[in-house]
Amino acid sequence: MSKKWNQERKNEEYYKKAKKQNYHSRASFKLLQLNRKFKIIKEGNSVVDLGAAPGGWSQVALEAVGTNGLVVAVDINRMKSFSEENFWSIKGDFTQIETLEEIQRTLQGKSDVIISDAAPKLSGIKDLDQLRSVDLARSVLNISDQILKYKGNLIMKVFQGEGYTELLKDIKKKFHKVKTTKPPSSRKQSGEMYVVGRGFRREGR
C-alpha cells in the first residue's frame, strides 16, 4: 500500500475515532451503526464472528452481549485476544469443515447471531475480487444452516456486482426479513454492502 493511502487513512474520521476510543479497527463503527439501527445483537446472545481479524467487530459484539453472552471469533490469521472470559478465538479457515466442527464444539449448541465483515484477499482486479466476495458470503450463508438458531440473525458484508442479486434471493429464502444497507462509516468509494437477515427459518419452511 502506498504512503499516500496510509496518510489518508490516518487522517480519516473513523480511523481517528477508533484510536481515540481504543477500538481495534475503524470497522468497529460499521457494526456499532448497524446494530444501533437493526438491533441484531442483544445482551446474553451467543455470536459467531466469521473473518474476525483484527477484532473490531468482535470487540463491539462483546460490548453488546455483556457478561452473560458469548463471542466466538474465527479467522485464518491469528488475532489479538480480549481479556473477557466469554470470548473464544479460533484460528482457521471458516470455509473448511474442520473449522466448522471446532466452532460447533466451542458453541456446544447454536448461535443467536452470525456476523461477518470478511473480505477476500484482494487481487486488484475488481471483477475477480467481487466474485470472490460473493463466494465468501455464500460460505457464510451455508454455515448459517449448521450453526444458527431458529429465528437467529445475520449481518454480513458483500461486494455489489455479478452474483449479488442471486445471493440476495437465496438469503431471502432463509430469513423472514432481509435488508441491505451501507452504514455511514463505510467508505463512499467502496462497493461493499451489508446484508441484514432477521428470523432464520427452519429448513423447508
Closest CA to 74 of 99, 105, 107, 98: 99
Closest CA to 55 of 85, 33, 87, 7: 87
Weakest-pLDDT range from 112-116, 119-123, 131-135, 180-184: 119-123
% residues pLDDT > 90 (the chain): 69
Weakest-pLDDT range from 2-11, 97-106, 128-137, 186-195: 2-11
- Residues marked as catalytic: 157
What is the predicted pLDDT for the residue at 200? 98
What is the predicted pLDDT for the residue at 24? 63
* pLDDT one-digit tens code per residue, 5-39: 344 444 467 767 766 666 767 888 999 999 999 99
25-200: CATH number: 3.40.50.150
* pLDDT one-digit tens code per residue, 67-115: 999 999 999 998 888 989 999 999 999 999 999 999 999 999 999 999 9
Sign (positive or negative) of CA dihedral 9, 53, 136, 66:
negative
Helix (H, G, I), strand (E, B) or coil at 169: helix
Extract the C-alpha cell encoding 122.
Answer: 484482494
> Is pLDDT above 50 for 173?
yes
What is the predicted pLDDT for the residue at 15? 66
Distance CA(172)–CA(179), nearest Å, equals 9
- For the chain, which residues make up each domain, given as ranges? 25-200
